[in-house]
Amino acid sequence: MARTPSELVRAEPGPPFEITVDGRAITALPGQSIAAALWCAGVLAWRSTRGGGRPRGAFCGIGQCYDCLATVNGEPNRRACLVPARPGDAITTQEGHGRAGLGV
């Protein structure tokens, strides 16, 4: 019988809430990082590389590799594995260096 990690530790998270990824609504749980919420929704890439536009998502999961950079609520270059998901967060795919339209 397969059990989820939350079942194994008898976790009782609060009620789920909604965040959006490129305008698509997904469900997140209290305490989840944005990367974890994206993974649970089947979203594996939310950034493209500067040179070549290759897709990237979470790699190390501890904030060391910067592969999981995302634009969160209009702020680019946020490490999705470290940022807790909050109700109403708007995550958008980050293209390249994440500074498009910022005049930098």
Burial 31-48 (b: 16+ CB within 10 A, else e): ebbbbbbbbeeebeebbe
pLDDT value at residue 96? 65
In a domain, 69, yes or no: yes
Please indicate, yes or no, if residue 63 is contained in any of the structural domains: yes
pLDDT at site 104: 41
Using DSSP, state whether 24 is helix, strand or coil: strand
For residue 80, tell me if it sits in a domain: yes
- Print the domain residue range for 59: 14-95
In a domain, 3, yes or no: no
**What pLDDT sits at residue 103?**
43
Digit-by-digit pLDDT tens for the chain (104 residues) are 688 877 888 878 789 999 999 999 999 999 999 999 999 999 988 888 878 888 888 888 888 888 889 999 999 999 999 999 999 999 998 876 655 554 44
CB 46 within 8 A of CB 91: yes
Per-residue confidence (pLDDT) for residue 1, from 0 to 100: 65
Cβ atoms of residues 19 and 80 within 8 Å: no
4 belongs to a structural domain: no
Give the CATH number for residue 58.
Answer: 3.10.20.440
**Structure tokens that stand for 32 in this block:** 């989840």
Is 27 inside a domain boundary? yes
Domain count, the chain: 1
For residue 100, tell me if it sits in a domain: no
Amino acid at 67: D
Query: Does residue 20 sit within a domain?
Result: yes
